Amino acid sequence: MSHAPPENALTDVRVEYVEETTVGSPPTDPAWETFSDYYATVPSWSGDAGVEGENIVGSGDLADHFRGPEDHTLEFEYWLQEAIVDGSGNAQNPLAIPMVNDYQTGWPTHTLEVRREATSGGADGAGFREYIVAYGARPTASNLPGDPAEGNPVVGRVTYEAEMTRQYIIHQPSSSTTLDLVSTDSNDTMDVVIESEDGSTTDTVTLTGTTPVTSTESFSDIDAIWVQSEPKGDIQVSDGSGTDLLERPIAGSATDGVEGHQGVPPLGTGSHASAIGNDPADYQFLGTSSSWGGGNIAEGDRVHALDLTVEADVTKEPQQGTRRQAIDVGPRTAQAEVDAAGPYESAVQNARYYRTENGDLVYGFPTFNITLKNATLSDTDDVERAAGDANNLYGVTFEPHGDPAITVTQV
């Protein structure tokens, strides 16, 4: 008998995002996209369910626990493979969104989906698929670190603030079977869409409350289970032999206490992301360039590191009728942290710092340039030489200003 592998980063994964047309809801027939063909970390989800223990008068122990509004942050780290903007300067990779959004239109929101697949173990011995799905996810920060000591391609990091994130386990049937669906609430009579891989088999089943209803189609695998409207009861799906295929039912509002959930969104007539296909070796830091004010950042032309971060302020406010918080994006700040060296590097950089000099800082990649306009030194290292130092790396921080303070262009 084959056993399921432990939770790890070695099993097959599918990582995708799609821009939402309605904030907080996955689009119908989504045209999914991918960040990269190569991931270092996914999805680095930090969630807070808002659980608080409460005291009452007359007892020294907690009386109960309650859940409040939720908070979800997700980060994706991946190798660069493409220009992050298209020929018109529009974002074609989420890394670019915090850099190029002009604040005159709404901040884009994405539905995110990470699928991990194991082909052994599971409730029916045929493996399982794990899904992490986030809605109303705003890409609010991006980072492009540059270290010439690293042989790998530049690893970009994009950070999302999401309204809601949920995790589902769908056990796979061991043979083609019809599916039985049932709710724990007699009033649930909404449609549930079930799909196999790539939507090759699909069925819409209308719930009949607490009475099980059987699909008309048979499924040899399951890749989406989507409750079309918010359920009150918990929704379970089982195979024709009575084996439950959802590790935990899709929770209804009665269980959640506030709102019901809907599961894993279907593909419909949409499409999954194609591989980007470009060679990531073209995006090593050793193959990048930099300049400031039309000349070298470092007096001795020795840049030993360049770490670029763009981050927008975020305000989250709880709201009535939902555990989702309203997320509003505020001003952004860009910083380029540079380690430079030269014969008198500290003197050159401090002259710029104490005279408040500025110039355009250009961080050049093979297929695109990021320009920090009017980049001004906002911080420098202490001037210090320690015994035995053969090379004093001098760290400085540049911040741009202007409208826009950042531009990204394809080259």
Q: How far from 106 is each of 23, 299, 319, 326, 330, CA to CA, in Å?
A: 10, 42, 20, 14, 11
The per-residue pLDDT for 68 is 96
CA distances from 376 to 28, 290, 351, 354 (A): 45, 15, 12, 10
Please tell me what DSSP assigns to residue 199: G
pLDDT at res. 2: 66
Place of tokens 């989800």: 45
Concatenated DSSP letters of 226-284: EESS--SS-EEEEETTS-B-BSSPBP-HHHHSS----EEPP-TT-BPPPP----GGGGB
Q: Do the beta carbons of residue 94 and residue 142 sit within 8 Å? A: yes
User: Quick one: pLDDT at residue 404?
Assistant: 96
Q: Which CATH architecture has domain 280-410?
A: Beta Barrel (2.40)
In this prediction, residue 151 carries a pLDDT of 86
- pLDDT value, residue 365: 96
Q: Where are the domains of the chain?
A: 280-410
pLDDT at 38: 98
List pLDDT tens digits, range 21-33.
999 999 999 999 9
What are the C-alpha distances in Å from 275 to residues 13, 34, 97, 156? 13, 8, 21, 17
What pLDDT score was predicted for residue 150? 85
Q: Which two tokens stand for residue 296?
A: 């070298």
Give residue for tokens 């080259």: 411
* CA distance from start to end of the chain: 55
Q: For residue range 279-317, what is the model confidence (pLDDT) as tens digits?
A: 999 999 999 999 999 999 998 889 999 999 999 999 999
The model's pTM:
0.96
Intervals of the chain under pLDDT 50: 1
To the nearest 5 percent, what fractions of the chain are helix, strand and coil?
10, 45, 45
**Per-residue pLDDT at 131:** 98
Distance CA 230, CA 164 (A): 14
Q: What local confidence, expressed as pLDDT, does residue 171 receive?
A: 98
